[in-house]
Structure 1
Amino acid sequence: MTPAPTSQLRVCALAPAEAAALAGIWRRAWASAHRDVRVLEPIGQWLARVTSEFKPPAELLVLEREAQLLAFTLLHPQRRYVAQLYVDPHLQGQGAGRQLLDEACRRMPGGWRLHVATVNRTAQNFYAHYGLQRGTVDRHPGTGRERVEYHWRPRDL
């Protein structure tokens, strides 16, 4: 019996050949978390966001298996902020999100924060289970959607 292939975490610059795959993961995961939204933006709009947002000083971390992208996170270490974290829906619950958060903790050992939509209960449960502390609720400055802040601090601070 052949062992299951393992996934690998890679910190990288956005490769043009991977932009569409990242946009697809983002769109599918977002749609899965926002089932109340009846019409999704076309993939081209997600791709435009990837190409405009996924560049320095942000750090892109991708999780892949056998050259297939499975999940990603976008970090802003200088702001101690996790801007995006998405796992392809069919792979959720298998440890990919935990691997990405573990790496965020390694790369930002003084602590960090993120925001998640208040309607995304699955993500909120995941972050709470990981040990993040719930913070304030506000509205996204661009979309007006309600969101909640979560933050991580090392235990000894």
Structure 2
Amino acid sequence: MPQPIIRPVRPDEYDEVARVWMNSWVSTGLEDASDAVLARLRARIAMGAEKGSSLYVADDNGKLAAMLTLHLPDRYLDQLFVAPEYQGDGLGRQLLAFTRQQMPDEIWLRCVRENEKAWRWYEREGFVFEKEEVEPAIGRVMKYYRWRKGD
């Protein structure tokens, strides 16, 4: 079966991207699905686009399988979320390889401390833990990671 194609998002897909993001986030067990969560994520997508983030989707023949947000000037991987039905099939690694093509020398990211599955995956993928810090906007402790080419 062919891998989904990573491509820039279209503005008419923001609602579907927010749903993929919410379903992936909810699969961590850290929050329940709700219209409020969906609305919050939808607003963050639009805000990110306005602030210069690059938003990509993994398109599986017209179905969105994942979303990826990068802020290239800061070498920041902002969001990487794979729809639950696509998790465990290598799509996360495909998105990370794409990210490394866009930012070949260095990438940093933050991950919610309670999302152990995610941060352990980033560690296996070569990211190095740097610090923990409370993110006041969401009230959660974030783990900061960095990857550098050649490390």
Q: TM-score, normalised by structure 1?
A: 0.87
Gaps of 5+ in 1: none
Question: Structure 1 residues 96, 6: CA separation in 2 closer, same or farther (over 3 Å shift)?
Answer: closer
Shift of 1:5: 3.7
Shift of 1:43: 2.0
2:5 equivalent in structure 1: 8
Larger radius of gyration: 1
Shift of 1:44: 2.3
2:45 equivalent in structure 1: 50
The answer to which of 23-32 and 51-60 deviates more is 51-60
Shift of 1:72: 1.3
Distance 1:42 1:118 in 2: 19
Q: 2:90 aligns with which of 75, 92, 95?
A: 95
Shift of 1:75: 0.5
**1:67-123 alpha-carbon deviations (Å, 9 max, x no partner):** 111011110110110111100012111111111111111111120100000000110
Q: How does 1:47-86 map to 2 (within 5 A)?
A: 47-55=42-50, 57-86=52-81
CA contact (8 A) 1:54 1:74 kept: no
| Paired-residue identity, % | 29
Q: How does 1:1-157 map to 2 (within 5 A)?
A: 4-10=1-7, 12=8, 14-33=9-28, 35-37=29-31, 40=34, 41-55=36-50, 57-155=52-150
Shift of 1:145: 0.4
Distance 2:51 2:140 in 1: 26
**Quick one: which amino acid aligns to residue 141 of structure 1?**
P
Give the 4+ runs in structure 1 shifted more than 6 A: none
Shift of 1:36: 4.2
CA contact (8 A) 1:61 1:100 kept: no
SS of the aligned residue for 2:46 comes to helix
Distance 2:47 2:78 in 1: 13
Q: Number of paired residues?
A: 150
Q: TM-score, normalised by structure 2?
A: 0.90
